[in-house]
Amino acid sequence: MPGLNFMVNGREYSLTVSPLMRLLDLLREEVRLTGTKESCGEGECGSCTVLLDGRPV
């Protein structure tokens, strides 16, 4: 499994995760940022939107 090095809200993380893991699940389950929610699950409602380098993804 690939290793990821990244920053969230100014804090550095180094994790090994499945390449199939969604960003939503990584943030909620590995980083414990549960403010990111899944609602529609289809990219329509925006509840899972986060800012990546200032751009919504």
Pairing between β-strand 3-8 and β-strand 55-56 as defined by DSSP bridges: unpaired
What's the closest the beta carbon of residue 2 comes to ligand FES, in angstroms?
A: 23
What's the closest the beta carbon of residue 19 comes to ligand FES, in angstroms?
A: 20
What is the spatial distance between Cα 5 and Cα 13, in angstroms, rounded to a whole number?
Answer: 6
Q: Would you say 44 or 53 has its CB closer to ligand FES?
A: 44
Subset of residues 1 to 57 that bind ligand FES, contact rule: CB under 6 A: 38-41, 43-48
User: By CB neighbour count within 10 A (0-12 exposed, 13-18 middle, 19+ buried), where does 4 fall?
Assistant: middle
> Site size for ligand FES, by CB under 6 A?
10
